[in-house]
Amino acid sequence: MLEFPQNFVWGAATSGPQSEGNFKKQHQNVFDYWYQQEPTAFYDGVGPDTTSNFFNDYKEDLLLMKKAGIKALRTSIQWSRLIDDFETASLNAEAVSFYNDVIDTMLANGIEPYINLFHFDMPVELQHKYGGFESKHVVDLYAAFARQCFKLFGDRVNNWFTFNEPKVILDGAYLYKFHYPLKVNGPLSVQVAYNINLASAKAILEFNKLYGSNKEKKIGIILNLTPAYPASESEADKKAANIAELWANKMFLDPAIKGKFPEELVVLLREAKVLWDATSLELDIIKNNTIDNLGVNYYHPMRVQSPDIAANSLQDWMPDIYFDDYEMPGRVMNVDKNWEIYPKSLYDIAINIRDNYENIDWFISENGMGVSNEERFIDETGIVQDDYRIDFMKNHLSELQKGISEGSHCQGYFTWTGIDCWSWKNAYRNRYGLIRNDIHTQVKTIKKSGYWFEKLSKRNGF
């Protein structure tokens, strides 16, 4: 039996825009708008209108999650749902009632709420008017939204998070065109990265004003960590991996935990003449408002090699001019998602946090396997026989437990996801849930992995 520490949290993660549907929302977020403008950009033309219908089904959905052994649920509050007027942070009363009832229903079912404030869902009005997080004014509007959330729900919610996967905001919206506004602008992505770090710190400042003395209440950030491994032991490959690590991981890890940006990254960006605009006051806010705990989303490693083209060639600045992707021969793949499966990274992450990041309390906030056409694995009883997902979790948990046994302070494991949910442009192409959702009928059934997870949660191990 592989056992986990006492009080280890077994949970699942989702988000407001991926589960609720946009029922009765006063405002559109960037994905609502993009789908309205270009539905063919989304897999099978499926958009964010109904998603998994959590807005209407949350009472039944939470009961199903409880049956699958989910003892904590990480989800998000949609800025575009909660707020009436973005400039004043006035409230939409119906949205306040909805989120209050969701949180109360979680607690009534013994499910601890872990609440995130931003999951790629910038209100489109703020994107069009100000450029979203390109603007420091939007940073302040976000902090006001965060304060409203803390005041409204902080009496029952102890675990808060400012952002989910800020690096994906850069990749999708400002570098590689898979999130709206579909820009390709490397220097602008640097400023957006800085502004998001500042926004996170300003939200933490608001949280600390209200709850700083309450040791039960914690605030953190959710980062997708992809350890960068060099293709070889050559100095050129190791240099490429180091720069990839600075951009992909340390640019958000260091300010969140240490209160400052890595000097090596600052020098690199300054020499390239793309360093962000910052003030000493802003840097002090980042320095003095660090996180209490860290959520780590992990799916795949990052393997890199020295670039074919020298970084100082005449070319537009992009973060990946310093490294090229490397495809390791013989790697194990999730072919449906085109991601390498490499559980050992969880051990490496655990030891990195232990040794280089103050051994801060942390947890796996997402880990899961997306598979296409899961209908092929439904047996005669109607249950998805997803042994591949069980094996995926077992292998990753084994590496995680090894890191914990060596002193890393991991507090929990949240799988992505509880119920099959809508996944941005990919819609429902890949399914991740412990619970199947027939999107045509909204009938939901526990998969084999859900029954396994229930035993895992009950036994605190496997």
Nearest to 294 by CA among 328, 255, 324, 332: 255
Tokens representing residue 415 in the block: 């799988």
Active site amino acids: 165, 366
Single out the residue of 190, 221, 210, 198 nearest to residue 281, CA to CA: 198
Residues 357, 66 contacting (CB under 8 angstroms): no
What are 370's two structure tokens?
């997306």
DSSP alpha helix (H) spans, 136-185: 136-153, 166-170
Q: Provide DSSP, 324-370.
A: EE---TT--EETTTTEE--THHHHHHHHHHHHHSTT--EEEEE----
**Chain centre distance of CA 244:** 19
How far, in Å, CA of 349 to CA of 253, rounded? 12
Number of Cβ within 10 Å of residue 100's Cβ equals 13
Q: Tokens for 428?
A: 């429902």
List, in order, residues 6 or more apart from 72 with CB less than 8 Å away.
Answer: 9, 10, 11, 12, 111, 112, 113, 114, 159, 412, 414
- Rounded Cα distance, 181 and 30, in Å: 8
Q: Any residues with CB less than 8 A from the CB of 345 and at least 6 apart, and which?
A: 226, 227, 298, 300, 301, 399
Contact 404, 421 (CB under 8 A): no
